[in-house]
Each structure stands twice: as C-alpha cells, then as structure tokens.
Structure 1
Amino acid sequence: MLPDMAELSANAALIVIDVQKGFEDPYFGRRDNPAAEDNIVALIRAWRAAGRPIVLVRHDSPEGSPLAPESPGNALKDVVVAAFEGAEPHLFVTKNVNSAFYGKPDLDGWLRERGIDQIVIIGIQTNMCNETTARMGGNLGYDVLYPIDAMHTFDAVGPDGETVTAEELTRATAASLHHGRFARVVRTTDLLGASAGI
C-alpha cells in the first residue's frame, strides 16, 4: 500500500522523462542518486509486466547543447532502451521546454482520451523537468506519484554564487511537492509493491 493509503490505478501511466545520454556529459557537473537508473528500469519493467501505459519523453534542446537533436546525447540511455526489450512505448513525446505537458503530441489530451487520471513521474532532472511536469500535472487535476529515488539531478549555483548540492535540491523538491500537494512523494519499492498487488 502506498503512503496515505493510496492505491495504484490499473491504468496509471508511467511518464519517463529525459533519460538521455547527454546528461552524462561533464557539462552538467556532479549528480546525486547513483541508483536512479536501476530504479527507473525496475519501474519500466514492472509497468510492462502489468500492461500499464508508459510514456517516453525526450528533450530536444537548442543547437550546442548535449541534448540537441543532432547530438549523440539526444538519444535515450541504453538501459532504458534495453528495458523495453524491443517494444515501443504507448506514447513518445518530444519537448523543448521543462514540462512534458507542453510537448508533442499532446500528453494531456492523450491521457484524458484514455481515462487516465493517475501518473507516475520518473527520469531526469528531479528539480527541473520532472518537478515542472509534476506541478503542472497536479494543477491539471491528475493524481501525481513522484518516486524520488527513480530520478536524479545535479549541483546548481544560486544567485548568491553558492553551490546548492544535488541532494539539497532533491530534498527541497520533495518538500515543495509534498507541502504544496502537487504530488505524493514515494519510493520505488512502494510502487513495485503496489504493482505486484494487482
């Protein structure tokens, strides 16, 4: 059972955001949560085994970025590709801003057409595209589950010139989403247990 006695819907959609090779570039700096990819793969496999919908999201950055379409870094990480074992996601979204709800094709429309009102967000980065998508999902009325250990982020420099660590940013994101009731912050094991129970 998930925290707050929540249940995992039979058609809960797994939104896998920006798990791309470009995030391995030194440009992004130091990251947290080395277990992120293992947890991402575990959830993809659990969703595939249960027959639940999976949405893959890819960020197409402007030219010069490690995530630019013409760059090798634009490609999904090998572990994600392998987790699908040759199968296709139910929906593939491309975007060039933070929220997956502003990508193409229209994620919100696709979910509503299928009667999906619960989404699970995983991927990269915790406090950037993942958090933005979670906030917008909450505003749109979705029940958002946020497995905080199935994602990671990077250290960032604040306006005062001080470095905020990736761990601090992750903790702040978890608190902000929880306190603001945008999402329910959970762990991968919570979802794997709930998935096995159906």
Structure 2
Amino acid sequence: MNDTSRWTLVNDRVLELALGLALMLVGLFRVLLPILGVSGPWSSAGSRTVRVDDAAQLADATESAALTLRGTGHAEMVLTDPGLGDRLLLALPGLTGGLLVVAILAVLLRMARTFRAGDFFVPRNTRRLTVVAAALALLGTLVPLLDMMTTNLLVRGTALAQAVRPAGDFAVLPLFLALLVGAAIQAFRSGTRLRSDTEGLV
C-alpha cells in the first residue's frame, strides 16, 4: 500500500469518525434529552422565543401568570409550570429537527463507508442523497411550520394570543443546502451512468 492510498484510508476513517461522533451528539442533545425533558420530572419551566406585535397590549397580565412574555419584537415566552402537553408542544419542533439531522448524518455515514471501498458512484448513494435532500427540505419547511403551529396552540385561549405573532418564515439555509444536494444528485447519476457504460466496454 503506497502513501497516497494510506492517506486516503486515513481521511475516510476520520470522516466516518467525525460523522459518527456528530450523530451521537445530535442524538443525545437534540433527541434523547428533549424526550426526557418532555417526560422527565425535573423540568418545571419551559420557554420559547416568539415574535411579538409591538402594538398589542395584554388584556390582563394577571390572567397569564403561568404564561408570560419578556421583551419586545422577539420575546421569550415562559411557561412557569407546563404540563405534559405543553412540554410536548415546546419540544416538538426541536425534536423533529433533531430527528431529521440524525437521519441526514446516518445516511452520510453510510455513504462515507462506501467511499472507503472506492465506490463513489453507486446507485444507492444517489438514493441516499435524495433522502438527504428531502430531509433538508423538511428542515427548512416542516420545522418552522411546527414552531408556528405549536406556538399558536400554546397561547390559544390566553391573554397573550393577541400579542404573539405567528412566524411563518421558512429556514433559508436548509433549503439552499437541499438545492445543492439536488445538484450533487445529478452529478452522482451521471457518474453512475458513466461508470456503468465504462464497465460494459471492458
């Protein structure tokens, strides 16, 4: 084995290790701990950053003792003693995003293992990139929509309902990355087709 192949093997191992470590950390901090926070007994308060209509006035602050706002423009909505349903609503957007990131990292880790064998342009890698692009698109669309819906459910029927504005913005970065991955899918398809044609000539 020459120095170049050894260096390539080391790079592949480092990539796999980095992806595996990232997968473990995201799974722990973005999935497992939020789940435990929903069902666990130690979390007695919960909060979320929300958009606030500066012109809105709270009808009666005493009616919202369990649900308060701190700040203007972007405020921190604090639930002093959330129940199980409230904790689930608070955790749902972040938990969904964490699961999507876990799926992306798991797929990339499987792709990295094919690189070790030198099989870049294989049909399953094209399918894996399609999964990554779909997950990124969901990160940019589904997670913000869940944030908006759960926030509306949390403030519904309270004095804060008129002050909190629903944030309907999509996340631009994941959508941009989804487009880049879409371009990479076309490159992988071309590479796979070229490799198949080349093997047919041998």
TM-score, normalised by the number of residues in structure 1: 0.23
Question: What TM-score results when the alignment is normalised by the length of structure 2?
Answer: 0.23
Relative to its length, the structure with more helix (as a share) is 2
Structure with bigger gyration radius: 2
